[in-house]
Structure 1
């Protein structure tokens, strides 16, 4: 009699990090036809690992085998990825060709080791099984507790030691270790050891196992005005899994993407320089000098009307009055105005809205981040606007440090292969800073920089959406 094929099963697996106290664990339901290579991807997501190290599956506890503890029963099997198989001359089985039904055919448990230096060992037990239901997902995260350890924290002992230091403000290494943990957790990541972020992991599992969605960011929400081509959606879609998960949760926790509008008075005050320029050019346009500059009288009128504090110059030559030159340049980049045959003219869209401060502010917000930039500039610019929108950045020093650190974290380097220093902040964010400076970001007041206003932060939120 020919063997009968068993119907598809859904397995209930419990994975726990060996030696963790309190225990770090996850329970998942997963199809028995899923490969161990796919299970590796699932474990990376649910424990918050960052795919930074080698791994392997085995039927034998790695700690026991290293201590020479004898094992009773069949020779334990081991599964590796293809690269590791080549390095070990084929000693082991291919994880991509092994499905869970076969891997657990001896009853388990399985052991998943990640990062052979730190030695993160996960015990995977099959705690139940049932017939698979038609249409159910390949994998589902059921429950869990505590976040996975920080990468490269020195194994279970090193992680426990770092948590103890972070919990003790009086420890001499408290500030250093806390700063290191924030760096390792990545932008917008949590360093709370009790924060498992199960919802974030569930969202990433849906992206991993389902059909490729139109929205890789998980942020599109037409009811809130967050659409496919929103700058924050395009930005999040290209992030690696841990960063994307962290960002998604951060945005929801802070309400940054909630609908926001400026009232007419706030919009008029914030957009005052642009509104003046649009009104000054008017429907009739503005004739430039033969050299292509704004006439001296018009430059002087801008300085007087906008009460500009000049860094240098007499305020009647555009080429030596950078405040006016910057206003004109940024308005051109935002496509509010254009130069045609020796004249400045309003663009067609702006002609219809120039007397409406709220419409002008919405137009500028919509155009702020889609300006022409390379990849590093776009990352830096979105991070700057996000830090203003969520209240993270109060001073330019805070923004400079955080933006450059994040760009470095994405692997960008200077022409000599070195990490970028703080002086890169301005070149990386120039096109966005030029606009934000016009609307008053970090303007100088007696005593130092003025913090961003509520209206400017609301404008930043509009720009992300």
Structure 2
């Protein structure tokens, strides 16, 4: 199908378009350079990215101001034109497909402004005005943000007047709904971008706009060639990818993920002790399949866990730190149970005298060895939070991971969002590894668990694996 108004070959000009949200005070606006040959469905993507919406609601374009009543000219009232996504065409036979019309056709010096509505419930009306044109350079981005002010309103905040009321209540600690709205804002804004009504990162927006229009030479990644974080990013809803990518950058994932030998030895001490105690020849279990009592006592003493444990610490089934360490080492691929004996895997044998190698092995295993895809996604999101080093309690980690799992589409069987206890269950094994490595301090999850530099480095190594 030939697109109406499409420019043959490279466009002769770029359009300079000012977009602002009608009724916003102070104004929320963007100044863009846009290729006029872009169809309106792509212009929708540009507006979503430039303003900072999450593209989770319906939208349309119209050439008529929704707030102005049309007047008759020579007894005739001009019918407004409305462009919608293809799947909405059946709702109104007079609507036009946005995929068949270009911005250069509908926004001209003679046409007057164009209006874009996002979320038919909240009714966010954007006014698009053509402020000028300029010759298109031989190499130019299809869309670029030049200037602007203030972040997008929060989704589902009740339209522009509801958003203004929300900001007023947020600024007034004495407001009767202040605390409730703070909690709602924290959940709605999410863990990857702190809510600041004045925030606008033009460079970050332009990076996202560039990703909307990859160069013709760009090739699709081969299956399995994506990094863990790239794969997660690509599975995020388009409207959340910008926030997620910004958080990945803020977490320092492009930084180094190496470890000094002494730090590695200190962090991996529980796993080193266990693998060395088992040794190349293996270790016999009791008739009931437990570690011998002497070994349990030795573990609790050597690892300095006795002081935090009530009991004799001589029976593995009643000494959870040792039991959980053994089970963790099995899950991570360090040891196996064969005919009443614990034996080392070939990888563990190679790493008996290589703490740095064991550290890296544990990082890779933590990221990759899981029983279910939901556990894998939860673990990767938790590692991201550890790398960022911003959370202060286990509840904070659970809330952040729950937000990410929801964005990735994980739900309970009833279709509802995952509860904290469900998220905790997905993370039990990974939490145990982080406790054994000393990245987290509190097994009950009641105290501060802010990750320090060594833990952040471990998380980066795992996400790089």
TM-score between the two structures when normalised by the length of structure 2: 0.85
Structure 1 residue 62: Cα displacement: 0.8
Q: Is the 2:435–2:442 contact (alpha carbons within 8 Å) kept by the matching residues of 1?
A: no
Aligned mates of 1:446, 1:425 — CA distance in 2 = 16
Q: How far 1:84 sits from its partner (Å)?
A: 2.1
Name which of structure 1's ranges 441-450 and 313-322 shifts more when overlaid on structure 2: 441-450
- Tell me the C-alpha RMSD between the 2 structures: 3.1
Task: Please tell me whether residue 275 in structure 1 is matched to residue 272 in structure 2.
Answer: yes
* Partners of 2:446 and 2:103 in 1: CA distance: 62
Structure 1 counterpart of 2:463: 464
User: 1: CA distance between counterparts of 2:54 and 2:226?
Assistant: 27
Selected match of 2:60 from 56, 61, 68: 56
Q: Which runs of 4+ in 1 moved over 6 A?
A: 445-448
Alignment of 1:361-376 (within 5 A): 361-376=359-374
Q: Work out whether 1:96 is the aligned partner of 2:115.
A: no
Q: What are the superposed Cα offsets for residues 89-135 of structure 1, whole Å, 9 maximum, x if unpaired?
A: x1121111011222125433111111222221111112222343334
Q: Where do residues 176-191 of structure 1 align in structure 2 (5 Å cutoff)? A: 176-191=180-195
Q: Pick which of 42-51 and 70-79 moved more.
A: 70-79
Is 1:45–1:205's contact at 8 Å kept on the other side of the alignment?
A: yes
Specify the alignment match of 1:241 in structure 2: 238
Map 1:165-314; keep pairs closer than 5 Å.
165-210=169-214, 230-255=227-252, 257-289=254-286, 292-309=289-306, 314=312
Q: Does 1:156 pair with 2:153?
A: no
Structure 1 residue 228: Cα displacement: 5.7
Q: Is the 8 A contact 1:231 1:370 kept in 2?
A: no
Q: Distance in 1 between matches of 2:321 and 2:390?
A: 27
* Aligned residue among 418, 421, 440 for 1:420: 418
Q: Number of matched residues?
A: 448
The answer as to whether partners of 2:55 and 2:239 remain within 8 angstroms in 1 is no
TM superposition shift of 1:388: 2.6
Residues 174 and 69 of structure 1: CA distance in aligned 2, closer, same or farther (over 3 Å): farther
SS of aligned partner of 1:118: coil
- Long gaps (5+) in structure 2: 1-6
Question: CA 1:228–1:408 in 2, change beyond 3 Å: closer, same or farther?
Answer: same
SS at match of 2:270: helix
* 1:426-445 → structure 2 map (5 Å cutoff): 426-440=424-438, 442-444=440-442
Q: For 1:49 and 1:445, locate their aligned partners in 2 and report how far apart those are by CA, in whole Å.
A: 39
**18-27 vs 393-402, which deviates more?**
393-402
Match of 1:321 among 308, 319, 322: 319
Mapped to 2, the partners of 1:377 and 1:200 lie a distance apart of: 31
3-state SS in 1 of match to 2:68: helix
1:31 to 12, 30, 35: 35
**Cα distance between partner residues in 1 of 2:230 and 2:399:** 24
Q: Deviations over 1:179-201 (max 9, x none)?
A: 22222223312311111232232
CA distance in 2, matches of 1:76, 1:457: 56
Q: 1:289 to 1:323 in 2, by over 3 A?
A: same
Aligned to 1:219: none
Equivalent residue for 1:134, pick from 108, 124, 138? 138
| Aligned counterpart in structure 2 of residue 86 of structure 1, from 77, 87, 90 | 90
In structure 2, what is the equivalent of residue 220 of structure 1?
Answer: none
Does the CA contact (< 8 Å) of 2:30 and 2:146 recur in 1? yes
Map of 1:11 onto structure 2: 15
| Equivalent position SS for 2:368 | coil
Q: Residues 188 and 243 of structure 1 are in contact (CA less than 8 Å); yes or no, is this contact kept in structure 2?
A: no
1:215 and 1:274 map into 2 onto residues whose CA distance is 40
- Structure 1 distance, partners of 2:333, 2:233, is 26
TM-score between both structures, scaled by the size of structure 1: 0.85
How far the C-alpha of 1:267 sits from its partner, in A, is 2.6
* Secondary structure of 2:413 counterpart: coil
Q: CA deviation at 1:52?
A: 2.1
- Contact 1:388 1:394 survives alignment (8 Å): no
State yes or no: 1:345 paired with 2:343. yes
Per the alignment, in what secondary structure is the counterpart of residue 156 of structure 2?
coil
In structure 2, C-alpha distance between the alignment counterparts of 1:426 and 1:315, rounded to whole Å: 27
Task: Determine helix, strand or coil for the equivalent of 2:60.
Answer: strand
Contact in 2 for aligned 1:189/1:243 (Cα 8 Å): no
- Contact 2:258/2:461 (<8 A) preserved: yes
Cα 1:371–1:60, aligned 2, differ >3 Å: closer, same or farther? same
Do the aligned residues in 2 keep the contact of 1:82 with 1:94 (CA within 8 Å)?
Answer: yes
CA distance in 1, matches of 2:120, 2:197: 22
Residue 237 of structure 1: how far off its partner (Å):
3.0
Conserved? CA contact 2:393–2:445, under 8 Å = no
